[in-house]
């Protein structure tokens, strides 16, 4: 008698998180989500949410899996939705595809819908596992989590300061304070942000580009106060 494969498997959720990061910065007001369909210890379908209004990660993964989804396991970085918005509920698609087991990293932080997707799937007889790599999933969508719970944005303050505590040369001329590694990190941070904001004086003196110079990366909105 053949036993069922191990469940859940962290490697498949790790892959789903990598997929989700491809959509980071592009999905607002939705979260970045990745999904993997696994059967017999191998991936048979995968996908991620690319932008608001486009198919959710689960739908992308199920489409790619096709008939192989029946009896398979689904790994998704966020609890599957059970409500209709700009797209239909993912729970209905999961049930229609014949998925047997679902593992999701974190519950939907929206208190109006949190837990509904998991309950719908369990009530239909699916095995559901919550919390696999939850910390990583929350870190990926920390901006979304703050906004949906508090209505406030997640703000990251970036400050370049010299060793003697200065932010500019004595003459006011513009020059690099941070090194290449720090500038590279800032560009990566910008590529997953909705907007970059600076004061008017900084814009007048430095004329910064405020772009995310990451190949193929998302460009945030530029805001000057």
pLDDT of residue 54 exceeding 60, the answer is yes
Q: Are residues 123 and 191 in the same domain?
A: no
End position of a domain, from candidates 125, 148, 171: 148
HSE-up of 142 (CA within 13 Å, CB side)? 10
Q: Are residues 36 and 113 in the same domain?
A: yes
Look up tokens 């910008």; give the residue: 190
195 found inside a domain: yes
Q: How many domains is the chain partitioned into structurally?
A: 2
Q: Which residue of the set 46, 58, 79, 107 is catalytic?
A: 58
Q: Which two tokens stand for residue 113?
A: 């819908």
Q: How high is the mean pLDDT of the chain?
A: 92
Output the pLDDT for position 122: 98
**For 6-27, how does the pLDDT look when each residue is reduced to its tens digit (9 = 90+)?**
899 999 999 999 999 999 999 9
**For 191-225, how does the pLDDT look when each residue is reduced to its tens digit (9 = 90+)?**
999 999 999 988 888 888 999 988 888 899 999 99
Domain that holds residue 166: 155-225
Q: Which of 208, 213, 214 is nearest to 223 (CA)?
A: 208
The pTM of the whole model exceeds 0.85: yes
If pLDDT is split at 50, 70 and 90, which confidence band does 127 have? very high
DSSP state of 149: H
22 found inside a domain: yes
**For 103-116, how does the pLDDT look when each residue is reduced to its tens digit (9 = 90+)?**
999 999 998 889 99
Q: Are residues 186 and 136 in the same domain?
A: no
Q: Are residues 131 and 181 in the same domain?
A: no
3 found inside a domain: no
4 found inside a domain: no
Q: Are residues 164 and 141 in the same domain?
A: no
User: For position 142, which CATH number holds?
Assistant: 3.40.140.10
Catalytic site includes residue 58 = yes
| H or E segment and range at residue 150 | helix 142-150
């Amino acid at each position: 008698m053949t036993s069922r494969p191990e469940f859940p498997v962290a490697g498949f959720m790790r892959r789903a998180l990598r997929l989700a990061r491809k959509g980071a910065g592009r999905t607002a007001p939705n979260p970045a989500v990745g999904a993997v369909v696994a059967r017999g210890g191998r991936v048979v379908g995968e996908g991620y949410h690319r932008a608001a209004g486009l198919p959710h990660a689960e739908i992308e993964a199920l489409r790619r899996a096709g008939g192989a989804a029946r009896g398979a396991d689904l790994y998704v970085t966020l609890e599957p939705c059970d409500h209709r918005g700009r797209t239909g509920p993912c729970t209905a698609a999961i049930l229609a595809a014949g998925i047997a087991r679902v593992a999701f990293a974190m519950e939907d932080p929206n208190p109006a819908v949190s837990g509904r997707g998991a309950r719908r799937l369990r009530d239909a007889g699916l095995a559901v596992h919550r919390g696999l790599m939850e910390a990583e999933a929350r870190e990926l969508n920390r901006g979304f989590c703050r906004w949906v719970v508090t209505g406030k944005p997640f703000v990251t303050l970036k400050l370049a300061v010299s060793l003697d505590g200065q932010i500019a040369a004595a003459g006011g001329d513009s020059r690099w304070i941070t090194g290449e590694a720090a500038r590279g990190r800032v560009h990566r941070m910008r590529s997953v942000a909705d907007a970059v904001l600076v004061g008017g004086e900084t814009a007048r003196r430095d004329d910064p580009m405020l772009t995310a110079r990451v190949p193929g990366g998302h460009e945030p909105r530029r805001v000057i106060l």
